[in-house]
Structure 1
Amino acid sequence: MKVLHIITGLDAGGAEQQLRLLLRHLPPEYDCDVVALTNPGAVAAGLRADGVRVAELGMRGNRDLAALPALVRLIRRGRYDLVHCHLYRACVYGRIAARLAGVRAVVATEHSLLDDVIEGRPITPGIRALYLATERLGRCTVAVSQAVADRLVDWGVPAHRVRVIPNGVEVRRYQQPAPVRAATRQAVRAELGLPQDAFVVGGVGRLVPGKRFDVLIDALGQMGPAWLLLVGDGSARAELEWQARAAGLADRVVLTGERADVPELLTAMDVLAAPSTGETFGLSLLEALAAGLPVRWSSGPALAELPAGAAPGARLTIAQPGYYAAELEALRTGRSAARVLAQPEAVRHYDTARLALGVAELYRQTGRRPVPPLSAPEENHARR
């Protein structure tokens, strides 16, 4: 089966990285190409390094309607059997283009939908109406968590058209023999200027207000000797740097910017802290657990939707500086140096190699006929 993935852009981000992981693990009978409507970046280069064909449409903005006929021509030339869309703009334009090109097997993945925000943009009546109108042109919408699925249904997407296939973690990427991990930890700390014996609190994600990394800087000021390592970039970076300077903590806060070597950077941390209260999945929580770290978190369907005990190293924490300071200080004073936790059941549950098989089955169903309604067991799971 020949599949075209249409995505808004390919700069470093969660949805973009998830697409790359999916293509690595789909069965070989799926011949996949990718087209980015705009902003090809680090992930485009990574996909090409993996051997994936990547096209760039050069779209100038959400209202660049000239992109639509160009996308239709690209789909027709490629003779694709199925089109899979990712992110809002690609879902709107991709579904329309696929149908105009004669492709009826169209699916989409909704990566980030909150009550009032979709992929970081406020939800207006126009955005919602356009989303729902074009959603009907596809056969199925994949939600990355049950929370996202429930919001789609609340919006008006029929429940039988929604499938939950969560994001995944490339589990083997985080498994290192103890001597290799120790050497990596030492090298990364040396590169970043972190003392080898320091207690390091880590945060991973876009530096935007919604991630609430400001809570961690305030918490750092209420703790004993500790460092804060933030991996990512975004609009709040300058404000976070100012906050650290104002608190007299600039020499103990390290911001790496956007990095592709997150598994290696996690080895330099002693705990991952995630004070965001508005996550639609929570991939960084799983990455940290896969790397053997304890996790303190405030929002994340990835863990919230699992049975109790699936992630014993993770602890739900109120997103306020005092609560995080208390939790992190307890870990700091009670830690064994560079202690590595075993990968919990939560990590194995979200192994990308397993989840990609679910996407492959969805492709098989969609390519043959409309996706059937939920079976009774799936309905029961959805209600939970």
Structure 2
Amino acid sequence: MKALHIITGLGVGGAEQQLRLLLRHLPVDCDVVTLTNPGPVADDLTADGVRVTHLGMSGNRDLTALPRLVRLIRAGGYDLVHTHLYRACVYGRLAARLAGVRAVVATEHSLGESQMEGRRLSAGVRELYLASERLGRATVAVSPTVAERLKLWGVPGPRIEVVPNGIDLARFRFDPALRERTRRRLGLPEGAYVVGGVGRLTAGKRFDVLIRALAQLPPDFWLLLVGGGPEENVLRRAAQRAGVADRVLLTGERVAGGRPGADLPSLLTAMDVLASPSTEEAFGLAVVEAMAAGLAVVYVSCPAIEDLRAGTANGSRRVQGSAGSFARALLGIRAEGPRPRTVPAAAHHYCITRSAAQLMDVYAAVSSTPSGNPPWGVSSV
């Protein structure tokens, strides 16, 4: 099987990193097209031996990109096209059908209750999404929560397959020696209790809540924010106003040790707890990665935990989302004393090899379905 993955961009982001990790574990010959922004993840994919093509799309309404994409798909002789993120799903599914490819799959990475990829969910966004969705054979949801949202939108249930995001468990295994080295490199004082936040620095991630919570905590609490984004300077100013700028560390997109995300395991080892203040998550990848590092987690929204049976995510605690609720929860976790950095069952549930195998089942189903017939009844996990 030869597959083409089409994604809106390859900058730093969860969907982009997830695509790279999946391609490392899929037993399929895969190429990648990025419509825009061939950023750091494009370089990483190329280093992995994946052929990456930048389509050079100038904006959402650059219709000239469509015939270019159709020609590329035809020339590649692909058996299957898999699209990721909103713009790529709209253009990619149409281009695949025009190019004669019928096995078309899309992954919905970030559908929230009121937004998708940071854009407000309007009637126009929904209708365009649904119109293009009918051109595919299956839509993959990264969590049962996202699957339910797709159904509420109007996507027929039998067309939806749940394939959760996956992680490389071994990559996040706790290393006490690495923890000490990383904390020294970051300049953290001995005995500092480090609260971590991981993700794009955007308004929707609500990292300002953690800054306000830090102001309510004792002076040995520190905040380590891993990631970059448009809100970085906003957060720095918020820390100054709150009087905690000397206890807030922001790594930016390119952290020490190489490319974005390359140093994430070491930064997680330096933390004592991870806090996720976002109120609208499609999965909660940072929380799962933190659990794989043996961290306690405090979160507002995390389908990756909420969709599992109770007791599988030991060490996790859900809060309402205010600065005060985070401050109280963090004080409570520290009062419980040091916890073993063991990996809960929830993290094992999201092993990348398991997710890749589930996706291969979807590929097999859509590839074997006769033209014109949707793949009803594919097993969802």
1:207 is aligned to 2:201: yes
Show the 5 A alignment for 1:245-324: 245-258=240-253, 259-260=260-261, 261-324=263-326
Alpha-carbon separation, structure 2, partners of 1:48 and 1:251: 39
- Matched-pair contact (CA < 8 Å) for 1:207–1:234: yes
Give the one of 25, 36, 39 matched to 1:38: 36
1:219 is aligned to 2:221: no
Alpha-carbon separation, structure 2, partners of 1:34 and 1:340: 40
Q: Which residue of 2 aligns with 1:136?
A: 134
* CA offset digits 1:87-146 (Å, max 9, x no partner): 001001101110111101101001111122111111222221111111111101001111
* CA offset digits 1:276-331 (Å, max 9, x no partner): 11111101110000001111111010000000000111111121111211111223
* CA offset digits 1:11-61 (Å, max 9, x no partner): 01000011011101112xx10000100101111111111111111111100
Matched to 1:358, the amino acid is Q
Matched to 1:248, the amino acid is G
Q: Which residue of 1 aligns with 2:59?
A: 61
Question: SS where residue 270 of structure 2 aligns?
Answer: coil
TM-score relative to the length of structure 1: 0.93
Question: SS where residue 254 of structure 1 aligns?
Answer: strand
How much does 1:371 deviate? Answer: 5.1
- Matched-pair contact (CA < 8 Å) for 1:292–1:342: yes
Unaligned runs of 5+ in 2: 254-259
- Matched-pair contact (CA < 8 Å) for 1:44–1:54: yes
How much does 1:335 deviate? Answer: 2.7
Alpha-carbon separation, structure 2, partners of 1:343 and 1:183: 18
Instruction: Report the number of matched residues.
Output: 370
Alpha-carbon separation, structure 2, partners of 1:56 and 1:220: 42
Matched to 1:56, the amino acid is H
Matched to 2:191, the amino acid is D
Identity of aligned residues (%): 59
- Matched-pair contact (CA < 8 Å) for 2:113–2:280: no
Q: Which residue of 2 aligns with 1:232?
A: 227
Alpha-carbon separation, structure 2, partners of 1:333 and 1:149: 38
What RMSD, in angstroms, separates the aligned Cα atoms of the two structures? 1.4
How much does 1:332 deviate? Answer: 2.9
Q: Which residue of 2 aligns with 1:185?
A: 179
- Matched-pair contact (CA < 8 Å) for 2:137–2:375: no
1:12 is aligned to 2:12: yes
With 108-117 and 80-89 compared, the bigger mean Cα shift is at 108-117
Question: SS where residue 230 of structure 1 aligns?
Answer: strand
- Matched-pair contact (CA < 8 Å) for 1:98–1:106: yes
Matched to 2:40, the amino acid is A
* CA offset digits 1:159-181 (Å, max 9, x no partner): 111111111111111125xxxx2
- Matched-pair contact (CA < 8 Å) for 1:17–1:43: yes
Q: Which residue of 1 aligns with 2:256?
A: none
Alpha-carbon separation, structure 2, partners of 1:160 and 1:313: 35
- Matched-pair contact (CA < 8 Å) for 2:7–2:85: yes
Q: Which residue of 1 aligns with 2:376?
A: 373
Matched to 1:232, the amino acid is G
With 89-98 and 186-195 compared, the bigger mean Cα shift is at 186-195
- Matched-pair contact (CA < 8 Å) for 1:82–1:367: yes
TM-score relative to the length of structure 2: 0.94
Alpha-carbon separation, structure 2, partners of 1:298 and 1:313: 14
How much does 1:156 deviate? Answer: 1.1
- Runs of 4+ residues deviating >3 angstroms: none
Alpha-carbon separation, structure 1, partners of 2:213 and 2:377: 45
How much does 1:85 deviate? Answer: 0.3
Question: SS where residue 55 of structure 1 aligns?
Answer: strand
Give the one of 95, 103, 114 matched to 1:116: 114
Q: Which residue of 1 aligns with 2:357?
A: 357
Q: Which residue of 1 aligns with 2:257?
A: none
1:346 is aligned to 2:360: no
- Matched-pair contact (CA < 8 Å) for 1:186–1:196: no
* CA offset digits 1:57-84 (Å, max 9, x no partner): 1110011111111101110110000000
Question: SS where residue 71 of structure 2 aligns?
Answer: helix
1:325 is aligned to 2:327: yes
Question: SS where residue 99 of structure 1 aligns?
Answer: helix
How much does 1:374 deviate? Answer: 3.5
How much does 1:183 deviate? Answer: 2.3
Give the one of 156, 170, 173 matched to 2:171: 173
